[in-house]
Amino acid sequence: MASQTMIEVRHLHKSYGPIRAVDDVSFAINQGEIVGFLGPNGAGKTTTMKMLTCFLAPTSGEVRVAGHDIYQDSMAVRRAVGYLPEDTPLYKSMTVLDFLRFVAAVREVPASRQKERLRAVVEVCGIKDRLGQIIGTLSKGYRQRVGLAQALVHDPPVLILDEPTSGLDPNQIAEIREVIRSLGKQKTLILSTHVLPEVEATCDRVIIIDAGKVVGDGSIEVLSKARLAQAGFLLSLETSQATERIRKALEALPDVDKVEPVSQGGAHSFIITPKKDKDPRLEIMKVCVAEGWIILQLTPKAASLEEVFRGLTQGGALARGAKGAPGSSQDEDDGDDDDDDGDDEDDEGSDEGDGDEDDEGGDDENEGGEEDGAGAGREPKESK
C-alpha cells in the first residue's frame, strides 16, 4: 500500500483563450507523500489544483486521483479529496459548528460518525473555543484553520491545500505547518506555495512550476543542496576607503568568483560568492589585514531559497521542461538575479553610509522573501 500512486497527472494542459496556464504538466504522487507545489504567482499551481479537484476541466490530458478519472468518475474523486481553495473561501454568516456540520453532511460523513469526526477535526485544527463564533468574525488564522477542518472532516485520503499559510503570522504558520506535518503521516498531501521555506519546512518532495511547466521535480534534499551550493559570505568592513576599490581588491582574490556590495548599517558590506568548492575566507582575512580594514563580520550566508528558486525558474542551468534535476543549476549564478536587485545596490554603493538609503535597500531586498513570516531561511542581509 505504501507506494500506491494516489495522484497521476499526464500531459495536462489548460488554456484560457490564448493563455496557456498549464502546459504539458505530468507527475505522479504516491500515497503518504507531502508534495510542495512551488512556483511564482501565476505559474499555474492554482489552476492545476483546480483541475485535480474537479473544479476546472483540463483542455487536454489525463488526471487520476485515488484511482478515479476526474472526468469519468468526478464524484469519486471529490469524495476522496479534501480541498482548501486559495484564500480560504468560507460561508461567512454561518457559525463554525454549523458550517462544519454542513460540510460533513455534504461530504457524506455518515450521521453516526459525524460527532466523532467533528470532534477529531476540531481537535486537530485547534478551533474548540471558536465553535459558536460566526466565521465572518474570525481572525485570518482561525479562518484558515476552519478551512483546514472542512477539508479534513470526511477523513479523505488525499488533501489538496492551496497556499495554506498565506497571510498568517509566524506563530500561526508554525501551527499550521505542524498540523500539515502530522497529517502527512497518513495522507497524500499537496500544498502550493510561492514561499520556499514553506516547502522546506513541511514537504518531502517539491514540484516546481513556472509558466505552466514543470521545471523541477525532486526530493527536498535536492532543493536544499542547490541552496547550499549557492552559499556565499557576508563581509562587513570598517574603513575609509571607497567601496569600489575594496570590491576590486576582493574580486582579485583567486578563490572569489563575485563580489556584490550591499548596503548594511553604514558599513561597507559585500556578498562574496566563492568559486565552486572553494573557501576564500583565509584569503579574505589576509587581504583585510594587509589593507588595514577592520572586519566587523564575516559570516557564511546560505543562499536564500528565493535565489535558488530564481536560479531554477529563470533560465538557469536547468532547461525548461526538464525534470528531476533542479540541483544542476547550483554553480550558475544567474543573470536575472543581478537585474532584480543590482540597480539599487549600485546606487547604495556610490553614496554609502546614508541611513535613508539603507532603509530603502533593506525593503527592496525583503520583497522576495517577506511572505516568509516564520523567519526560516532569513538572509543575514535582511536583518537590519
Partner 1 sequence: MGKTWTLYKRELGEFFNSPIAYIAIVVFLVLAGFIASWRIFSAEAPRAELRPFLELMPLIMVFLAPALAMRLLAEEKSSGTMELLITMPVTDWQVVLGKYLAALTVLGLAILFTLPIPIAMAAMGDLDWGVTAGGYIGLFLMGACYLSIGLMTSSWAGHQVIAFIVSIAICLPFFLLGHEWVTGMLPDGLRPWLQGIFGLGHHFKNISKGILDSRDVIYYLSIGAACLLLATQSLESRKWR
**Alpha-carbon distance values, 362 to 111, 234, 337 (Å):** 55, 15, 16
Closest separation in Å from C-beta 271 to partner 1: 41
Query: How far is it, in rounded angstroms, from Cα 45 to Cα 379?
Result: 26
**Amino acid found at 162:** D
Query: How far is it, in rounded angstroms, from Cα 1 to Cα 4?
Result: 5
Closest separation in Å from C-beta 107 to partner 1: 6
Closest separation in Å from C-beta 119 to partner 1: 20
Query: How far is it, in rounded angstroms, from Cα 142 to Cα 108?
Result: 24
Strand partners, 261: 270
Determine the angle formed by the axes of helices 170-183 and 111-125, rounding to 10 degrees. Answer: 130
Q: Which is nearer to partner 1, 134 or 295 (CB)?
A: 134
Q: Which is nearer to partner 1, 108 or 338 (CB)?
A: 108
Closest separation in Å from C-beta 91 to partner 1: 6
Closest separation in Å from C-beta 83 to partner 1: 5
Q: Which is nearer to partner 1, 92 or 113 (CB)?
A: 92
Closest separation in Å from C-beta 15 to partner 1: 10
Please calculate the CA angle 61-67-68 and round it to the nearest 5 degrees: 65
Q: Which is nearer to partner 1, 50 or 213 (CB)?
A: 50
Q: Which is nearer to partner 1, 16 or 300 (CB)?
A: 16
Secondary structure letter of residue 204 according to DSSP = S
Binding residues (CB under 8 A) for partner 1: these are 50, 53-60, 75, 78-79, 81, 83, 85-87, 89-94, 98, 102-103, 105-108, 150
Closest separation in Å from C-beta 54 to partner 1: 6
Q: Which is nearer to partner 1, 53 or 330 (CB)?
A: 53
Query: How far is it, in rounded angstroms, from Cα 48 to Cα 7?
Result: 12
Place of cell 549557492: 230
Q: Which is nearer to partner 1, 68 or 213 (CB)?
A: 68
* Sequence-distant contacts of 177-181: CB under 8 A, at least 24 apart: 177/201, 177/202, 177/374, 179/124, 179/125, 179/126, 179/145, 179/148, 180/34, 181/34
Q: Which is nearer to partner 1, 57 or 231 (CB)?
A: 57
**Amino acid found at 159:** L
Closest separation in Å from C-beta 125 to partner 1: 16
Q: Which is nearer to partner 1, 6 or 81 (CB)?
A: 81
Closest separation in Å from C-beta 297 to partner 1: 47
Strands 60-65 and 68-69: antiparallel
Residue 260 CA, distance from chain mean position: 25
Q: In what order do the strands lie in the sheet with 68-69?
A: 19-30, 5-16, 60-65, 68-69
Task: Return left, alpha or beta for 381; rule: phi > 0 is left, psi -120 to 50 is alpha, else beta.
Answer: alpha
